[in-house]
Structure 1
Amino acid sequence: MSKVVGFAMPKIDAPTVAEHRANQERALLDAARELLIEGGVDAVTPAAVGAAAGLARSSVYKYFRSGDEILARIVADSFAEWGARVRDSVDCGDTADGRIMAYVRVTLELAAAGAHRVAVLGGGMPADPARRAVLARHHRDLGAPLLTALTERGDPDPELTAELVDGALGRAIERLDAGKPVEYVTRVTTEFLYRALRIADSEH
């Protein structure tokens, strides 16, 4: 009588296969995010991501076809998380001026926490026209709450003013990356923008 050889099922560490796959994918993306922050774009390879997540490279290919696909996903996730935080904070403002300054503060808070580094590092990778279009859309989406608040405020050129505000924030973020304390950078930046935008004292 022939002996039936059984095959071991992969270990499932969640109530359902779908949840298990979601957990594995999340572990891979978290590992890739850390690799990107620590080593840049070149550090994000299927082999490195799998090793960091405790999975074989062959297992990584069940979720992502390449390192570029992993990068595209973590950049998209970073933009989505950033955008949600900005919208939630801006929506809490009672006035247009309050929403503008909420945008400024939450942007610096997220930058100080390092959230922008994933978007900046991953966004700097070589991209085809379709991916560049996606990145441009993400950038527009991130700035939409500021543009809306400036328009509500009656700014004569809200698009230009939004670019100027974002320019000031970009310089402030550079100082944060250089090690300046977030409290100091936030105070100086907000005080500058209060004066530049002529925001009333009541919004301080």
Structure 2
Amino acid sequence: MPKISAPTVAEHRAMQRAALVRAGEAVLLESGLAAVTPRSVCERAGLARSSFYDYFATKDDLLVAIAIAAIEQWDAEIEQELTGAEPGLGELRRFIDATMEMTAAGKHAIAGALSDANLSPSRLEDLMTLHDALLRPLVRVLSHLGLSESKSAVALVQGILGAGVQLVSHGVDHRAVADDVYRLITRGLTD
């Protein structure tokens, strides 16, 4: 039996799986989607190649695990940023600023790197369900502004935020984009 590096086998397995997810993320961000293979991920994690299949049945399963970890981290950071924000426009401003700052810091890079993944339909559906959970903070912010009942308002604001994320991802200053996004959402195209 191999040595375990945690108090219990379950904790050891969780640590090994987390190491594979971190290694997969690193390979994905450094070398792209095609470079994410069981061999490259296990080498990066310092594990035997056969270990991959103890934790993930397929590459899709690893990619979804990487995406889930990134989504959960993003969600936690947004929630932290919104802590203590005054409900209403102040909360909306903080949400927009945090979204653009986090994008500028590269925290949206996983989404871009995974966008070309040809995931199986069931795995893609799992991922989309979790991605939809990212809308919860936005829905809460909009509810404080009296807009939570409007599905179109949520979708339109999400679209504007998505366009802002794309701009920041392509090198536009995140502060300027945040200002434009906030102005567009709160005042429209004209004052």
Instruction: Give the TM-score of the pair, scaled to structure 2.
Output: 0.83
Q: Which residue of 2 aligns with 1:113?
A: 105
Q: Please list the CA deviations of residues 124-149 of structure 1 after superposition, one character each: whole Å capped at 9, or x if unmatched.
A: 41233323322322232112221232
The structure that has the greater radius of gyration is 1
Counterparts of 1:28 and 1:195 in 2: how far apart (Å)? Answer: 42
Instruction: Give the TM-score of the pair, scaled to structure 1.
Output: 0.78
Counterparts of 2:125 and 2:39 in 1: how far apart (Å)? Answer: 29
Counterparts of 2:121 and 2:90 in 1: how far apart (Å)? Answer: 37
Contact 1:41 1:125 in 2 (8 A): yes
Q: 1:154 to 1:40 in 2, by over 3 A?
A: same
Which 5+ residue runs of structure 1 have no aligned equivalent?
1-8, 200-204
User: 1:22: how far off?
Assistant: 1.9
User: 1:153: how far off?
Assistant: 1.0
Match of 2:19 among 7, 27, 45: 27
Q: 1:157 to 1:191 in 2, by over 3 A?
A: farther
Root-mean-square deviation (CA), in Å?
2.4
Q: Which residue of 1 aligns with 2:163?
A: 171
Identity %: 35
Q: 1:117 to 1:195 in 2, by over 3 A?
A: closer
Counterparts of 2:148 and 2:68 in 1: how far apart (Å)? Answer: 32
Contact 1:147 1:159 in 2 (8 A): no
SS of aligned partner of 2:171: coil
SS of aligned partner of 2:89: helix
Contact 2:164 2:177 in 1 (8 A): yes
Q: 1:66 to 1:197 in 2, by over 3 A?
A: closer
Q: 1:111 to 1:83 in 2, by over 3 A?
A: same
Counterparts of 2:2 and 2:154 in 1: how far apart (Å)? Answer: 52
The one-letter amino acid paired with 2:55 is Y
User: 1:156: how far off?
Assistant: 8.9
Q: 1:91 to 1:60 in 2, by over 3 A?
A: same
The answer to whether residue 112 in structure 2 is matched with residue 136 in structure 1 is: no
User: 1:157: how far off?
Assistant: 7.3
Counterparts of 1:65 and 1:128 in 2: how far apart (Å)? Answer: 13
Contact 2:21 2:62 in 1 (8 A): yes
Structure with larger RCO (C-alpha < 8 A, sep 6+) = 2
Q: Please list the CA deviations of residues 14-63 of structure 1 after superposition, one character each: whole Å capped at 9, or x if unmatched.
A: 23322222221111111000111122222111111111111111122111
Q: Which residue of 1 aligns with 2:180?
A: 192
SS of aligned partner of 1:132: helix
Q: Please list the CA deviations of residues 151-194 of structure 1 after superposition, one character each: whole Å capped at 9, or x if unmatched.
A: 331249743333333333333333333334xxx422x2332244
Which 5+ residue runs of structure 2 have no aligned equivalent?
none
Q: Which residue of 2 aligns with 1:6?
A: none
Q: Which runs of 4+ in 1 moved over 6 A?
A: none
User: 1:92: how far off?
Assistant: 2.6
The answer to whether residue 137 in structure 2 is matched with residue 148 in structure 1 is: no
The one-letter amino acid paired with 1:190 is A
Counterparts of 1:55 and 1:39 in 2: how far apart (Å)? Answer: 19
> In the comparison of the two structures, how many residue pairs are matched?
187
The one-letter amino acid paired with 1:15 is P
Worse overlay, 190-199 or 124-133 = 190-199
Q: Which residue of 2 aligns with 1:36?
A: 28
Match of 1:89 among 81, 85, 91: 81
Counterparts of 1:149 and 1:198 in 2: how far apart (Å)? Answer: 13
